[in-house]
Structure 1
Amino acid sequence: MSETLTAESALPPAPGAGDHLALDFVNSAITLPGGQLIDLLGTPAATNQWLTERGLAPADAGVQEMCATQLRSLREHLKALFAAHVAGLPALPAALSAVNDALSRAPTAALLHWDEKNGPYRAAPCPTNEILDRALATLAANAADLLTGPDAERLTACGSTPCNRYLLRHGRRQWCSTRCGDRARAARAYARRTRPNAD
């Protein structure tokens, strides 16, 4: 794996990833041609950066390996749910349990606080030790909203091997990027040229 190659330099965000954080999250591990894997959650520092860039953790959160492992585990469970949905298959019970566990981790009620200058305001509690729970709950809730919302019928897997990303289909588009579409079209053209004539 090349340390200088990033997901952003390899592929742009998949269609729908800007609207659905869970889609961006599931696509944070990318398989490229030649079997190269880019994992944006591969290290604690990379995980902290990914969370910070999406407003899920402060830059100085100090994500540890245990936290990164929990996030990678949720990502795999969400990927399994996306795959089941796309294939029209029942969800794996373990994946559903993992998502529901993540959903129940963060408090949902914003508490009342009082600022001496500005008076009362509401904010959800998020001490440093709860950053991971809040991130897990946010990602799981976004995935649940995607899978049960109006965009669920547009969710699909990229049609270009070996890409493992998901996207929201728009029209007939079945690839997560122009690069994947070009690769799939080139493979089909090559297959047609090398197919023996059936005369």
Structure 2
Amino acid sequence: MTASLNMRNMKESVREEPLVAPAQGEREHLSLALANSAVARPGGHTIDLLGTPAQANHWLTERGLAPADAGMREMCTAQLRSLREQIRSLFAARAAGLPALPAAVRAVNDAMTRVPTAPLLAWDDKNGPYRATTHPTTAIVDHALAALAADAADLLTSPDAERLTACGSAPCNRYLLRHGRRHWCSTRCGDRARAARAYARRAQAGAE
């Protein structure tokens, strides 16, 4: 009874999660989606799509990085949030043309090297020798972290990195791949930025 109630609560917490439209480039780069999984909203509010183990499990499942019944724990969720902050640090440095923090580079490299990059040799009495990629339940999060870190490294070293920019509408903290002159991650942010500029012009005209 208690287990079924907990499972129902987990599902409800995921269903009630506010929807955030993907920023430009998120569909192509999972690391960009990870960086944008904590969204700052006006009024000091933040939407964290990795706020609980259930939400983190849902986020990974939606992107093909974990099964729905992976059974995420807070320790694994904290690792995912930690990698998010390191990737955000690297994106911020690249977008601003500044040196990256060595700790952030180490964190991404560490995540990429946690799991085998090639199928390993296995052997059993029935099938004999064969190659297989190990993916035990306990390594699901490590595989997800490795995939996200590798995607971040690919993005930062690809031509797309020239288009990487922070959303230009405060207080939004998301990143996007710029398309043309667009510096906003969504229509909502673009409307807010234009409204803020119009208000500033009216205030300036009223002060003259």
TM-score, normalising length: structure 1: 0.90
Work out whether 1:190 is the aligned partner of 2:199: yes
Work out whether 1:110 is the aligned partner of 2:104: no
2:132 and 2:164 mapped to 1: Cα distance?
33
**Uncovered stretches (5+) of structure 1, i.e. residues with no partner:** 115-119
RMSD: 2.0
Q: Counterpart in 2 of 1:42?
A: 51
2:119 and 2:29 mapped to 1: Cα distance?
23
Work out whether 1:93 is the aligned partner of 2:99: no
Select 1:75's aligned residue among 50, 67, 84: 84
1:190–1:5 distance in 2 versus 1, CA, 3 Å: farther
Kept after mapping to 1: 8 A contact 2:17/2:49: no
The C-alpha deviation readout for 1:75-126, integer Å capped at 9, x for no partner, is 0000000000001000001111111110111111024679xxxxx9864210
Kept after mapping to 1: 8 A contact 2:23/2:176: yes
Work out whether 1:30 is the aligned partner of 2:39: yes
Paired residues, number: 190
Other structure's SS at 2:27 match: coil
Q: Counterpart in 2 of 1:117?
A: none
Q: Counterpart in 2 of 1:125?
A: 134
1:190 and 1:81 mapped to 2: Cα distance?
34
Alignment of 1:154-169 (within 5 A): 154-169=163-178
2:17 and 2:71 mapped to 1: Cα distance?
23
Other structure's SS at 2:191 match: helix
How far off is 1:196 after superposition? 4.2
1:173 and 1:121 mapped to 2: Cα distance?
51
How far off is 1:25 after superposition? 0.7
How far off is 1:5 after superposition? 5.0
Question: Identity across aligned pairs (percent)?
Answer: 70
**Uncovered stretches (5+) of structure 2, i.e. residues with no partner:** 1-12, 124-128
Other structure's SS at 2:43 match: helix
Work out whether 1:57 is the aligned partner of 2:79: no
The C-alpha deviation readout for 1:151-175, integer Å capped at 9, x for no partner, is 0000000000000000000001100
Work out whether 1:21 is the aligned partner of 2:30: yes
2:182 and 2:172 mapped to 1: Cα distance?
15
**AA aligned opposite 1:26:** A
1:191 and 1:122 mapped to 2: Cα distance?
64
